[in-house]
Amino acid sequence: MKRILLTGGAGFIGSTLAEKLLSKGNYVTVIDNFSDFYDPYIKEKNIIPLLKFSNFKLHRFDIIDKEALFQNIDKHDVIVHIAAKAGVRPSILDPIGYEEVNVKGTINLLEFAKHHGIKQFVFASSSSVYGTNPNVPWVENSQIDHIISPYAGTKRSAEIQGKIYSHLHDIRFIALRLFTVFGPKQRPDLAIHKFTKLILRDKPITLYGKGNTIRDYTYVDDIVNAFINAINFTKSDFEIINIGNNKPISLIELVKLLENTFDRKPKIIFEKEQPGDVPKTYADINKAKKLLGYEPQTSIKDGLEKFKKWVLENQEIIYEK
């Protein structure tokens, strides 16, 4: 059993991970500010299954509040840092806000780890750091000079800070570069959730460009398993590891899969490409296989069926919220 400090634990990935960790007997402390980036009702709903565990504790504050962090949280065995201001396009409108939360917030947690002698730090990075790199599938040692959004820049900056603290303060820093996570509880601003909501409401969906952008959609349970293995990783002191599905598909293909899954014909509007969006994401996962024993188990088709089941069980999220 480990004492795990989990930031962003009321969100999509965080709450899914928290439930898995708690069910294995770990003590989990969640920090989440219940941001209104999307309806906080969804996060409140995500927390409900966690409340049944006696080994769960919730704190409601922002990771940029260093005083609240040091006053309210004691030493843990591991920090899993998922909390962030999310989204490529919103970061273009608010680069300073993204820098504040995603970089300063990460440094606050690294300072907390240093102060308490916490040696294991697992960080949720993003495939967006590869930007427009044309050499796919992307390998972790690729040169990172193709970044095209403030969001991606903040994730890369946080990785660099992790490298510095690992070197100076003997903190094992494992950065997982996540590739387009989907599944039950997915954030409503992400394509699969957003498109599903519009299709079920018989409203048109907007595809930017010609719908030819390609994404490496990765099921949330595969992501969670990677986090759990990273929590227990001890073979080196600093690693950056891709966590993807290694089977990318186009946006048009995704829409077709949603049509088949929900048996609804979508209405499609095409608009010009959006700034900050990368044309393709595609993970080389050989390093994850070698270091974490990672092997994605859920295909996009099977994952969409599981997402559909969640949608049908939580229709108020689709139709009312």
Provide the 8-state DSSP code for 178.
E
**Ramachandran assignment for 228, one of left (phi > 0), alpha (psi -120 to 50 degrees), beta (any other):** alpha
Residues 6+ apart with CB under 8 A from 121: 78, 79, 81, 109, 110, 113, 162, 165, 171, 172, 173, 174
Q: Which of 27, 98, 151, 165 is catalytic?
A: 151
Residue type, 261: T
What is the pLDDT, as a whole number, of residue 321?
Answer: 47
Amino acid at 167: H
Structure tokens at 233: 């990783």
Q: How many C-beta neighbours within 10 Å does residue 1 have?
A: 10
pLDDT score at 317: 67
290-294 long-range contacts, CB within 8 A, separation 24+: 291/233, 291/235, 291/239, 291/241, 292/226, 292/229, 292/230, 292/233, 292/241, 293/229, 294/222, 294/225, 294/226, 294/229, 294/241, 294/243
pLDDT of residue 61: 98
Q: Which among 195, 4, 27, 206 is positioned nearest to 109, based on CA atoms?
A: 4
Mean pLDDT per 10-residue segment, the chain (321 residues): 97 98 98 94 95 98 98 98 95 97 98 98 98 94 92 98 98 98 95 94 89 94 98 98 96 96 94 82 97 98 97 76 47
Model confidence pLDDT, tens digit, residues 97-156: 999 999 999 999 999 999 999 999 999 999 999 999 999 999 999 988 899 999 999 999
Query: Do residues 179 and 243 lie in contact, with contact meaning Cβ atoms separated by under 8 Å?
Result: yes
Q: What is the pLDDT of residues 226-261, one digit of tens each?
A: 999 999 999 999 999 999 999 999 999 999 999 999
**How many other C-beta atoms can be found within 10 angstroms of the C-beta atom of residue 313?**
9
| Placement of tokens 């907007």 in the chain | 206
For β-strands 78-81 and 218-219, DSSP reports them as unpaired
151 is catalytic: yes
- Please state the φ and ψ torsions of residue 59, each to the nearest 5 degrees: -125, 130
| Residue whose token pair is 């050989």 | 286
192 vs 198: CA distance, rounded Å? 10
Domains of the chain (ranges, CATH numbers): 3-181+217-244+283-297 (3.40.50.720)
